[in-house]
Amino acid sequence: MSVTWRDDRFHDECGLFGIWNHPEAANVAYLGLYALQHRGQESAGIAATDGTGFHTEKHMGWVADVFSPERLRRLPGHRAIGHVRYSTAGSSNLRNAQPITATTARGPIAIAHNGNLTNADALRKDMERDGAIFQSSSDTEVILHLLARAPAGPLEEQLPHALRQITGAYSLLILTPEALYAIRDPNGFRPLTLGRLGDAWVVASETCALDLMEARFERDVEPGEILVISDAGPRSIRPFPPSERLHCVFEYVYFARPDSVLWGRNVHTVRKVMGRQLAREHPVAADIVIPVPDSGTSAALGYSEEAGTPYEMGLIRNHYVGRTFIEPKQGIRHFGVKVKLNPMREMLEGRRVVVVDDSIVRGTTSRKIVKMVRSAGASAVHVRISSPPIQWPCYYGIDTPTRKELIASSHHVEEIRRYLAADSLGYLSLDGMLKATGSDPASYCHACFTGDYRVGLVQEPTPQLRLFDA
């Protein structure tokens, strides 16, 4: 039987990389996307320009599989933008892969988007009624249509006109033969950073992409900023009135790579502080602390340090799991999760174990992990989660299940503990999580934990369905 591996997690949906003025722009963009692979594994693409038209290569699959030397040779020019995608708005197929290119009245244009527009459907319906034809189901194309309909003028005047009509989360890269535009929405949901590589300018979703090519970090693109990068260097336009900052706190909890510096702080460090706070909030007598690798590693280190309980590797992750695999007819216990994580009996047998992970979504994987750790001989299994219970879906660019599928939307912590069959369960508090970021707690979006959607009209019914008999 073929089994699809659908891991029980939130998924970031996109990574962006742009470069201006480099003789090997496409090759460098390829490296940048390689470093951003964790932000999207369904499709990858690069659009490059030599100052006239665009050359684009985009396909389904991982960056290393999509870009052969031959495909990279088909991308000449000193300027390029690239994109990795995990589908959110729009289903996952090649038509929705990015960058999207188009020819407008003012010339060719390529666009790549990280985020999700909360009013894309309404805008799209209006435009379709007016006769617009869409090539994809992606909300990014809505931005292209708004640009095409903007009053004639330079792009930097058309952009504010188009962007004022959209709500939600967007970090955008737009490439024309004349300039590279790097844009963050006024609330700054998704990250975007500016760096320098010799004479070239680079823009990336995360600083880990700059590190790979030894580019120097310059600064974050600011919320509400349109950064225009041309041969004259970067120039900033700020066409929006000031808005409240709503950085996605889940970037710190799980999405971003631990070696990235996000909004001024190293992600691994923030996760360790979350783990320390978790240990203070939910102490327990135990022999070892183990992470669910890799997502729980940094928080488990923090928990172990604060609790004074030794850190161990009790679960070993197979990093080479594809999306589907063949399950043998003879059932193997915990097969699905064991393909990805293997418990080490030598570490676990007879020990009281604290298992640290970053979040619980449906709970199905956490339940299997608890069972697996216990089967490997642990005498007690205490689950600790370095974020609060997830009760609400995300509408700002993260792939999440419906509300009724989120276990914490309809079950109390004690009911979830019983479902997991754990000896104890402790979640980090909202205050503890926000404090661990080291910056103003009011500058973060936490709607998936609290239902406090502060941008766009979002209404979710309260789920009645109970997933199991607790």
Sheet holding 200-204, edge to edge: 54-60, 43-49, 79-85, 14-20, 200-204, 193-197, 216-220
Q: Which is nearer to ligand SF4, 246 or 292 (CB)?
A: 246
Which chain residues interact with ligand SF4 by CB under 6 A? Answer: 189, 248-250, 394, 396, 398, 445-448
Chain position carrying tokens 């903007």: 150
Q: What H or E segment, with its residue span, contains residue 113?
A: strand 107-117
* Least distance CB 66 / ligand SF4 (angstroms): 27
113 forms bridges with which residues in the sheet?
172
* Strand-strand pairing, 380-385 and 424-427: parallel
* Least distance CB 448 / ligand SF4 (angstroms): 3
Give Cα separations from 227 to 165, 190, 317 (angstroms).
Answer: 19, 15, 40
Q: What H or E segment, with its residue span, contains residue 261?
A: strand 261-262
Q: Is 14 a catalytic residue?
A: yes
Give the E-state strand segments of 38-106 in sequence order.
43-49, 54-60, 79-85, 100-104
Q: Which is nearer to ligand SF4, 31 or 445 (CB)?
A: 445
* Least distance CB 122 / ligand SF4 (angstroms): 20
385 forms bridges with which residues in the sheet?
357, 427
Q: Which is nearer to ligand SF4, 118 or 176 (CB)?
A: 118
Token duo for residue 66:
């999509």
Contact 280, 223 (CB under 8 A): no
* Least distance CB 190 / ligand SF4 (angstroms): 8
* Least distance CB 453 / ligand SF4 (angstroms): 7
* Least distance CB 249 / ligand SF4 (angstroms): 5
Can you list the alpha helix ranges (DSSP code H) found in 133-263?
Answer: 140-149, 155-163, 207-212, 249-250
Contact 290, 317 (CB under 8 A): no
Q: Which is nearer to ligand SF4, 35 or 249 (CB)?
A: 249
Q: What H or E segment, with its residue span, contains residue 269?
A: helix 267-281
Annotated catalytic residue: which of 14, 208, 248, 448?
Answer: 14
Q: Which is nearer to ligand SF4, 181 or 250 (CB)?
A: 250
Q: Which is nearer to ligand SF4, 67 or 170 (CB)?
A: 170
Burial 170-181 (b: 16+ CB within 10 A, else e): bbbbbbbeebbb
Q: Which amino acids are annotated catalytic? A: 14
